[in-house]
Amino acid sequence: MAGLVAPKITPLRLPDLEDGVTDDLIPGDTHDRQRFAEPTVKGRDLGGITFSECELVGWEVRDAVFTESAFLETRISSLFTTGFRASRSTFRQVEVDDARIGAVELMDSKLRSVVFTGVRLGFVNLRGAALTDVVFRECVLDGIDAGDATLTRVAFEDCRAGELDVTRAKLQHVDLRGLQVERIRGIEGISGATMSHLQVVGLAEVFAAHFGISVTD
């Protein structure tokens, strides 16, 4: 569509990786060019940790905290967790695929050049976050809270969501045509998004209510 700019995704190419030891992970530490495979991370505070050019595979995370962490040029595959707590974190050039995540806490986080593929997400809290060049592909999401967030060049491809909250959000080049969504809250924040004709028709009552229009036959 004219005027709509697609996300600019930088391909992720990882170098040869050394095997890392999950028990060695500590808060605030930095790990470069390592592969951490199939650990169970339970009840640990890993706040401030940095993964750079790493691969995290088959993780099971329970009651762990990644606040203010950084995931840089990193692939995350087959992650299973009931909750992923990573507020105020940085994700740059990251691929997340085949993951099953319950509640996702990414408040005030920064995501740039990130692709989610085949991910099942519960409630995603993006309140106050900044997303730039982000793609959700073949994902199922229970709810997305993007209140007060800034979304630039974000696209949904073959995705479903129960609810999208864009209260006071700032959207620019956000492609919602590939998102089947049941409810939108904070409809005034939808400005800057691109939707299909069918989506707009389906949300006609929501738009009418926002503008104080009474609809009756």
The one-letter amino acid code at 177 reads R
pLDDT digits (tens, 9 = 90+) for 34-87: 999 988 888 899 999 999 999 999 999 988 899 999 999 999 999 999 889 999
> What's the gap between Cα 215 and its chain centre?
36
pLDDT digits (tens, 9 = 90+) for 161-192: 999 999 999 999 999 999 999 899 998 899 99
Q: Judge whether 57 and 77 are in contact, CB under 8 Å.
A: yes
With a cut of 90, say whether residue 214 has pLDDT above it: no
Q: What's residue 33's pLDDT?
A: 98
**CA within 13 Å, CB half, 86:** 22
C-beta atoms surrounding 213 within 10 Å? 10
203 — pLDDT class (breaks 50, 70, 90): confident
Measure the CA angle with vertex 73, ends 69 and 78; round to 5°.
80
All domains in the chain, ordered by first residue: 26-210 (2.160.20.80)
Q: What's residue 2's pLDDT?
A: 57
Considering the entire predicted model, what is its pTM?
Answer: 0.92
Lookup: tokens for 70: 């950084």
- Token pair 């969504």 is found at 181
Exposure string of 154-190, with b = 16+ CB inside 10 Å and e = fewer, is bbbeebebeebbbeebbbebbbbbbbbbeebbbbebb
The one-letter amino acid code at 168 reads R
211 — pLDDT class (breaks 50, 70, 90): low
Q: What's residue 198's pLDDT?
A: 85
pLDDT digits (tens, 9 = 90+) for 88-126: 999 999 999 999 999 999 999 999 999 999 999 999 999
With a cut of 70, say whether residue 208 has pLDDT above it: no
